[in-house]
Amino acid sequence: MKLIRFGNPEEEKTGVILPNGNRLDVSAFGEDFDEQFFGSKGPKRLSEWLLKNESNCPEISNEIRLGSPIARPSKIVCVGLNYAKHAKESGMEVPSEPVLFFKASSAIVGPYDDVILPRNSKKSDWEVELAVIIGAKASYVSEGDAMKHVAGYVLHNDISEREYQLERLGQWVKGKSCDTFAPLGPYMATTDEIENPHNLRLWLKLNGETMQDSNTSDLIFGIPKLVSYISEYMTLLPGDVISTGTPFGVGLGLDPQKYLKAGDIMELGIDGLGVSKQAVKA
Ligand code: ZN
Ligand 1 centre to CA of 155 (Å) is: 12
Residue range 72-83, pLDDT digits in tens: 999 999 999 999
**Angstrom distance (rounded) from CA 243 to CA 58:** 33
Q: Supply the DSSP symbol for 157.
A: E
% residues pLDDT > 90 (the chain): 96
Residue range 11-31, pLDDT digits in tens: 999 999 999 999 999 999 999
Dihedrals phi, psi of 239, to nearest 5 degrees = 90, -15
Partners of 125 in the beta sheet? 160
Residue range 101-125, pLDDT digits in tens: 999 999 999 999 999 999 989 999 9
Residue 6's pLDDT is 98
Ligand 1 centre to CA of 259 (Å) is: 15
Ligand 1 centre to CA of 4 (Å) is: 23
Name 182's Cβ contacts closer than 8 Å, sequence gap at least 6: 76, 103, 105, 107, 108, 109, 156, 157, 158, 159
Ligand 1 centre to CA of 1 (Å) is: 26
pLDDT at 244 over 90: yes
Ligand 1 centre to CA of 18 (Å) is: 30
Residue 120's pLDDT is 87
Ordered by where they begin, the domains of the chain are 2-56 (no CATH), 76-281 (3.90.850.10)
Ligand 1 centre to CA of 57 (Å) is: 37
Ligand 1 centre to CA of 85 (Å) is: 14
Ligand 1 centre to CA of 239 (Å) is: 19
